[in-house]
Amino acid sequence: MTKSILYIILANGILRESMSAELSTDSYAISWHDSVDTVLKNNNDMQPNIILCHQDVLESNEIILLASLKTRWPESKILVMGPSRPIKIQIEALKHGARGYFDSTLPMSKLDVALQGVLHGEVWVERHVISGLIDELTHIPEIDQQKRQAITSLSPKELETAKLVSHGATNKIIAKKMAITERTVKSHLTTIFHKMDIPDRLSLAIFFRDLR
């Protein structure tokens, strides 16, 4: 089994201990860092699959620091973790490179679920935050003719899945609405990403929102 390379940027030692107990070393090769500056100065050329960054280390420079991480590792997924925050602030984090926000009031056992979701192209935020993000984004990717034609290659079930994603539905909600399993939903999404040459769930949601 190939391990996912996980960089964790966190200054809180107590929280680090509880996270260490929950995250399996069989699934992740973990590299711990105390600050964003530290990880950016790291000479290790290994590309992290995912970066878990605690809100405390971002402080008031969140946009700049998230942009710096994305510039250094453009293919890496970023999950921000911290206390409950207003929707608008979560949306700003998503706009500037994060793929989700993990509320630290959730059970720590949920953290691996969030990390795996982000790794597989999902956005880890509450449904209404996704809807708000889609409504607020000002930069809409150009919908070229090739992508429009690709829509015709989708099966009815794949098309229905894509439309539900554009309304912010989670895999669980999609599965319930379509009377299929979550595993089948994930299979549909993988096929959709491939057929339409779209990298992830959020890009798919934005694309279909623009068609409405």
What's the pLDDT at 138? 45
Q: Is residue 61 predicted with pLDDT exceeding 90?
A: no
- The domain limits of the chain are 4-136, 145-211
* Greater pLDDT, 79 or 84: 79
Q: Is the dihedral of CA 5, 169, 187, 153 positive or negative?
A: negative
Considering the domain 4-136, what is its CATH architecture?
3-Layer(aba) Sandwich (3.40)
Helix axes 127-136, 201-211, angle to 10 degrees: 60
Average pLDDT estimate for 186-207:
84
**Which pLDDT score, from 0 to 100, does residue 191 have?**
92
pLDDT of 60 strictly over 70: no
Going 27 to 32 to 35 to 39, the CA torsion angle's sign is: negative
Is there a shared CATH topology between the 4-136 domain and the 145-211 domain? Answer: no
DSSP letter (8 states) at residue 110: G
Domain 145-211 belongs to what topology?
A: Arc Repressor Mutant, subunit A (1.10.10)
Residue 109 reports pLDDT greater than 60: yes
Confidence of residue 171 (pLDDT cuts 50, 70, 90): confident
20-43 pLDDT, tens digit each: 888 888 889 999 999 888 888 876
